[in-house]
Amino acid sequence: MTITFIDPDGLPKIDVYRQVSVATGSKLVFVAGQVAWDGGDLAAQVEQCYLNVATALAGVGASFADVAKLNVHVVDWTPDKMPLLLAGIERAAARLGATPVPPATLLGVAALDVPEHLVEVEATAVLD
C-alpha cells in the first residue's frame, strides 16, 4: 500500500478518519467533487457521493484504499447533521466493503452548483 494513516500523539483520535496520511506512490489522482444527481436526503446524497468517488477511482485502477485525503462540502452545515453524514458514510462503506478513513476536511458551505445538492465529496489518491 502506498498510503499509511497515522493519528500522531497529541492530536485527537476521530472514529471516522485519521489525522495524517503519508503517501509514497508516484501517481497522484484528483477526483472532482462528486454529487448525487438523484436527490434524496443528506444521508442518501452522502452515500451516493462516496459511491461516485469509488466509481471515479475504479476508472483509473484505484480504490478507497488509495485515497490520501477527502474534502466534504455540506450545505448549511450544523452539528446536528452529523448523524445523517455518518449514516451516509456507513451505508457507502457497507456497499463498498471498505471503510474510508483518510484525513478529511468537513466544510460548511452556503450553496453548491444546484439547490438540490446538499453535499459534495472530492478525493485525492496516490498510486504506485
Q: What residues pair up with 17 in beta bridges, in sequence order? A: 14
pLDDT beyond 70 at 108: yes
The DSSP line for 36-92 is -TT---HHHHHHHHHHHHHHHHHTTT--GGGEEEEEEEEET--GGGHHHHHHHHHHH
CATH number at residue 77: 3.30.1330.40
Give domain status of residue 18, yes or no.
no
Domain hosting 72: range is 29-127
Whole-model pTM: value is 0.89
Give domain status of residue 54, yes or no.
yes
Interval 12-56: pLDDT, tens: 998 888 999 998 878 999 999 999 999 999 999 999 999 999 999
Task: Say how many domains are in the chain.
Answer: 1
The CA-CA-CA angle for residues 68, 110, 82, to 5°, reads 55
Determine how many CB atoms are found less than 10 A away from the CB of residue 7.
Answer: 15
Give domain status of residue 21, yes or no.
no
Give domain status of residue 104, yes or no.
yes
Give domain status of residue 115, yes or no.
yes
Give domain status of residue 48, yes or no.
yes
| Mean pLDDT confidence for 114-119 | 97
pLDDT of residue 94: 95
Give domain status of residue 16, yes or no.
no
Mean pLDDT, the chain, integer: 94
Give domain status of residue 23, yes or no.
no
| Mean pLDDT confidence for 71-87 | 97
pLDDT beyond 70 at 1: no
